[in-house]
Structures are given as C-alpha cells and as structure tokens.
Amino acid sequence: MPASFKSWFKHNDLLLVLALSKLLIHLLISNNFGYFADELYYKVASERLAFGYIDFQPLIAFIIKAAVFIFGDSVSGLRVLAAVAGATLVFLTGVITRELGGNKFAQGIAALAVIIAPAFLGISNLMTPNVFSLLFWSLVIYLCIKIYENNQPRHWIVLGIILGIGILNKASIVFLIILLIIGLLIERRYDIFKNKWFYISILIGGLISLPLIIWQIQNDFLSLQFFMDPTRRGGLNVYSVYYLIGQVLYHHPLNFPLLLMGLYFFFFGGGRRYRIFGWVYVIGFSVFFITKAKVYYMSPIYPFIFAGGAVVLGSFINKLNSKWVKPAIITVMILGGIITAPAFLPVFPEDNMRQYINYIRLIGYSNLPEAKYIIKDMRGWETLAERVAEVYYGLTPEKRESCVILADYYPETSALNLFGDKYGLPPVYSRHNNYFLWGKGNINGGQTAIFVGIDTEHVEDIYGDIKLVSTGEHAVKQKIFLCSDPILSLKENWSNLGVYF
C-alpha cells in the first residue's frame, strides 16, 4: 500500500470505524419488517423512470433502479445504498469537525452524535430522498468551509455539481442555499457575490437540474401546485411545543448540549469566521417553527452544528487533563443511543407492535408523529393485497373483465401494484399525486371498481352504488369497497380527477 494511503487511513481510522459501525447497524436490521410506505411509491417510480414526478424529485427512482439491479429485488437490497449514505454522513461529519479545528476526540464525538441521533437512525434505515438530502447538505457545508479557506475554483465547481444533484434528489437544498446567502448578507460578506465562481457554481447546478425544470414546464408546474396546496399537510402540522420538544428528542437529548456548544462556537467562539452556519440554524429553525413544519425538516442542519459543538467540547476536555472524562462521555452517549434506537429502528419482533408502542411511550417519544408512523408503515402491505385479491376473485368472470382497482393514496396503491402480480391482480390506479399522471391514457374499463381506502370520498363523484365488502382489521386499516353504476367514464374524465396533497 502506498505511503499516502497508509497516512490517509491512519488519519481517518477512528472515523472509518464509526462509519463502518453505522453501516453494520443498518445492514443487520435492514430486512426486519417490510417496505416502508414511501419506499413502495419510489420503487414503483423506479419502474416508470422520468425526469420529474409531482411530489418528489427524480433521483431516488434512478437510485432504486440501480440498487435493485446491483443488490437484488428485496427489502434489504433496496436499503444498502441508504445505509452507505448514512455511514458516509458519519464520516463526513467527523471531517467537517476536523476542518473546523477539532481534535481527534472532537471528530469522534461529532460522528458519534450523528450515529445515536434517532432522526439519522430512522432516516438512514429507509431508501428515501431524505437520507441523501442529509448527505448533500453536509457536502455543501464542507465545500463552503474549503471555499472559505482557499477559494479555489475546483471547490466552486464541485459545489455546483453537488447543488445540481441535490436538487434532483430533493429541492429543499435550495432552501439551504438561500439560508447561506442570507447569512452572507448579514455578515456583510459581499466579496463572495463579487466572485465569478459563485455564479458559475449556481449555473452548473442549474444545468444539472435542467431536465427536472423542463419536466415541470412540460407538466404545467404540477409540483408547484402540490407544494403550494395548503391542505397537503392536513393533520400533520406539528404544534409549537411538540416542534420544540421534538428537536431535542428527535436528535437525542444527550446531543442537546452539543447543539448549544455548536451555536456558541459559530456565534461567539473560535468558529466566528463561519458565523453564517450559525445563522443557517437560527433562521432555518425560526422558519420551520413559524410554519409548523415537521420535526425532521431541521435534521440536515444538525451534523455541522454538532461538529462545531464537538470542537468546543474537545478543547474543554483536553484542558481538564483527566483520563476518565473521555471514556465516560463516550460510554454515556453509546448507552443513550441504545436506549432510544428502538423508537426508530425495527429491532423488536414484527408481530409484537404493542411492545413497540409501550417502549416508545416509556422513553417519552410517543408524542412524535414520526416515532409512531415509521415502524407502523412497514407492516401489512402484502396482507392488503391478499384481501383485495379475495374480493377480486369473488367477482364473476364478466365483472372481473371490466373491473378497475382504485386506491385512495399512494402507499396502498403502490403496495397493491408491487404485490399484486403475486396474487394475479390487474394494475391498480389512483387519483393521488403521481398516480394521476400514470393513469392518463392507460385506464380502461370501470363498469365495476374495487376501491381501497379509509372512506369513499374519492369515488363518490364517480360511482352511484358503493358497498363496503371488507373492513380493515389488519396492520393496514384501509377498507375495501365494491363500486358499480358509474356516473362518469374514468377514461374520458381522468384528466379532471387528479388530487394533489
């Protein structure tokens, strides 16, 4: 092995061990339970590749396509790259800490903080855009630090590339850029705006994301309609008190001192040169608090704040010159992480949901919506397909020939499409979000329909006769209705039936 590689490994040995530990955690439990609701949706999208979708950006569909090709068509295979992204985030957080002046202990503490944070455990265990969003935001921060240090064009170019790919993954990365620009204006760093590479970087990002922009133009900016719909978060808005508590619980109570030290570091301590990162947290937190956003929307900001806090902690611990303080801190963090991990990771048996609920209540996480749904939404999807198949094959051959299966929302629609082949079901359609687009020009028949949903709201304007034929008694609570006497033709009127939320 060349000397340069040996030196690199020696320089990063601790971070590599922590990153590999993170990877191992997720690989060991990746096959526990089944697909998460959103994973089902993205997996269907990977079979219908496009440069845009109504309610998410296209990169995740391409990543899943690659994951299935490389690792096989299974729950565990699907999640390998998500686990790799989570492990890379751990490593990168340690590197950012080093760039900010942190010693080896500080680097390890920052990386460990990311490992034990329930938010990052839950997100890194699922193949969704969120796990890559965490990584792209931290990459942007790392490159900003490098630009602050030496302002080399290559860092601007890479920043533009990451920005473009990040937009194709999740457009929220634009919010990070806006926050950084606001921070630069507050700090009067006008020199950045006089640098031609600032604009070249933005141009590179725009060119990479151009296919998505073209798709939006061609589809009348349907994504904008979706994100501007005031009802799309109905019932999921987080009340202020839960948002505040959630920030602590979701990113681990033991990391809260690190958060405070991180803000001190950027505003008053040795990291004042990078005060814009402190503004990113303060302004981002304020915007999400005012808009009653979901708790995890703040998650991508925490790794680099933890990095700043770890620099402060590492410096303070070194001054104490005590042999037991470092092992004590590490031990407490690991034990604390083990205690909270089951709230977001499927480590208990799947058939004992009550055990999960009791444990989440015991450790104080029962009021977080994400803690309730992240485990619940990985259960019962194939059972739903079995129930629909029973109803479908209970119809006469004549009715089956003209029967259309409709579902309320994307999770059950995706589950029925993915598991339907096993039970001989025809394609399943929905008026919801991107399924509305996929149904255009493809839906036929409809004299009889099987509808899967919580209630009949989305079919009452289509069918005159709707009968409940199966109640939701399993993990997935949706009811099944048999619909007849159509009021209008699905094929002729589909373009007017889309619902976005």
In a domain, 407, yes or no: yes
In a domain, 349, yes or no: no
Pair (159, 19) in one structural domain: yes
Residue 491 above 90 pLDDT?
Answer: no
Residue 236 above 60 pLDDT?
Answer: no
Residues 223, 226, 228, 230, Cα dihedral to 10°: -170
In a domain, 365, yes or no: no
Pair (253, 402) in one structural domain: no
Per-residue pLDDT averaged across 106-129, rounded? Answer: 96
* Last residue within a domain, chosen from 297, 326, 343: 343
In a domain, 359, yes or no: no
Pair (325, 257) in one structural domain: yes
Residue 401 above 70 pLDDT?
Answer: yes
- Of 474, 53, 101, the closest CA to residue 269 belongs to 101
User: Looking at the 3D structure of the chain, how many domains does it have?
Assistant: 2
* Last residue within a domain, chosen from 343, 370, 394: 343
Pair (89, 187) in one structural domain: yes
Task: Give the pLDDT confidence score for residue 353 in this predicted structure.
Answer: 62
In a domain, 54, yes or no: yes
Task: Give the pLDDT confidence score for residue 385 in this predicted structure.
Answer: 93
Q: pLDDT class for 375, splitting at 50, 70, 90?
A: confident
In a domain, 229, yes or no: no
How far is Cα 450 from Cα 472, in angstroms, rounded to an integer? 15
Sign of the torsion formed by the C-alpha atoms of 67, 108, 162 and 39? positive
Pair (317, 394) in one structural domain: no
Q: pLDDT class for 175, splitting at 50, 70, 90?
A: very high
β 428-430/403-407 pair status: parallel
Domain membership of residue 417 as a residue range:
381-496
Pair (266, 391) in one structural domain: no
Pair (323, 400) in one structural domain: no
Pair (385, 339) in one structural domain: no
Pair (37, 162) in one structural domain: yes
Per-residue pLDDT averaged across 27-43, rounded? Answer: 92
Per-residue pLDDT averaged across 139-153, rounded? Answer: 95
Sign of the torsion formed by the C-alpha atoms of 99, 103, 106 and 107? positive
Pair (339, 386) in one structural domain: no
Residue 475 above 80 pLDDT?
Answer: no
Q: Which residues contact 338 (CB under 8 A, 6 or more apart)?
A: none
In a domain, 251, yes or no: yes
Residue 332 above 70 pLDDT?
Answer: yes
Residue 453 above 90 pLDDT?
Answer: no
In a domain, 271, yes or no: yes
CA angle (140 as vertex; 214, 82 as ends), nearest 5:
80
Task: Give the pLDDT confidence score for residue 234 in this predicted structure.
Answer: 43
Pair (284, 402) in one structural domain: no
* Last residue within a domain, chosen from 343, 362, 396: 343
Q: pLDDT class for 352, splitting at 50, 70, 90?
A: low
Least trusted range by pLDDT, from 45-54, 364-373, 374-383: 364-373
Per-residue pLDDT averaged across 380-394, rounded? Answer: 92
Pair (76, 202) in one structural domain: yes
Task: Answer yes or no: are the C-beta atoms of 85 and 124 closer than 8 Å.
Answer: yes
Task: Answer yes or no: are the C-beta atoms of 109 and 314 closer than 8 Å.
Answer: yes
Token pair, residue 62, equals 């391409």
Per-residue pLDDT averaged across 332-357, rounded? Answer: 82
Q: pLDDT class for 235, splitting at 50, 70, 90?
A: very low
Residue 155 above 60 pLDDT?
Answer: yes
Greater confidence (345 vs 20) lies with: 20
What sections of 53-116 are H helices per DSSP?
59-71, 75-78, 80-99, 104-116
For the entire predicted model, the pTM comes to 0.93
pLDDT, averaged across the chain: 90
